[in-house]
């Protein structure tokens, strides 16, 4: 189940990034993380910390809840 939640989070981050017309590199810079980390997060190969998710949401200018859509509790 954890893997499925991580995959959904990754999909949500990527979808929002694409919607905002940002590259991974641009979002990584805005969120103050490495490009490699952003790539790993979007591939569900790295579990981001709560602070990183918060920074990504802020960088995308969306409520953090948007990144958790479709993730079962």
Cβ–Cβ < 8 Å for 19, 69: no
Q: Is the pLDDT of residue 9 over 70?
A: yes
Q: Is the pLDDT of residue 1 over 90?
A: no
Read off the pLDDT of residues 15-67 as tens digits, 9 standing for 90 and up: 999 999 999 999 999 999 999 999 999 999 999 999 999 999 999 999 999 99
Domain coordinates in residue numbering, the chain: 2-67
Please report, to the nearest 10 degrees, the dihedral formed by the alpha carbons of residues 62, 30, 26, 64 taken in order. Answer: -20
Q: Specify the fold of 2-67.
A: 434 Repressor (Amino-terminal Domain) (1.10.260)
């Amino acid at each position: 189940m954890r893997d499925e939640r991580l995959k959904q989070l990754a999909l949500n981050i990527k979808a929002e990034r694409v919607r905002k017309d940002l590259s991974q590199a641009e979002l990584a810079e805005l969120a103050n993380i490495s490009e490699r980390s952003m790539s790993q997060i979007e591939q569900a190969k790295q579990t981001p910390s709560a602070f990183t998710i918060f920074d990504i949401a802020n960088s995308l200018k969306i409520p953090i809840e948007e990144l958790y859509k479709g993730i079962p509790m």
